[in-house]
Chains A and B, each alone.
Chain A
Amino acid sequence: EAQVTQNPRYLITVTGKKLTVTCSQNMNHEYMSWYRQDPGLGLRQIYYSMNVEVTDKGDVPEGYKVSRKEKRNFPLILESPSPNQTSLYFCASRNGGSPLHFGNGTRLTVT
Chain B
Amino acid sequence: QQQVKQSPQSLIVQKGGIPIINCAYENTAFDYFPWYQQFPGKGPALLIAIRPDVSEKKEGRFTISFNKSAKQFSLHIMDSQPGDSATYFCAAQAGAGSYQLTFGKGTKLSVIP
Which residues of A pack against B, CB within 8 Å? 4, 30-31, 40-43, 45, 48, 50, 90, 92, 94-97, 99-100, 102-105
Give the CA-CA distance A89 to B26 in the complex, in Å: 27
B99 touches A31 (CB 8 A): yes
Contact B103 A43 (CB under 8 A): yes
Name the residue on A nearest B42 (C-beta).
Answer: A104
Q: Do A97 and B9 touch (CB < 8 A)?
A: no
* Chain B binding surface, main DSSP class: loop
Is B103's CB under 8 angstroms from A92's CB?
no
Q: Which of B77-113 contact A (CB under 8 A)?
A: 89, 96-101, 103-106
> Residue of A at shortest CB range from B34?
A99
Query: Smallest Cβ distance from A31 to chain B, in angstroms?
Result: 4
Let me know if A43 and B44 touch, CB within 8 A: yes
The smallest beta-carbon distance between A21 and chain B, in angstroms, is: 14
Chain B interface size band reads 20 to 34
Known contacts A42-B105, A42-B106, A99-B34; is-contact A48 B41 (Cβ 8 Å): no
A21 to B58, CA, bound (A): 38
Contact partners of B34 in chain A: CB under 8 A: 99-100
17 contacts between A and B (CB under 8 A): A4-B43, A30-B99, A31-B99, A42-B89, A42-B105, A42-B106, A45-B100, A96-B97, A96-B99, A97-B96, A99-B34, A99-B49, A100-B101, A102-B43, A102-B45, A103-B43, A105-B43
Q: Is B12 close to A, CB under 8 A? A: no
B54 is an interface residue with CB less than 8 A from chain A: no
Q: How far is the CA of A102 from the CA of B104 in the complex (A)?
A: 16
B9 to chain A, nearest CB (A): 7
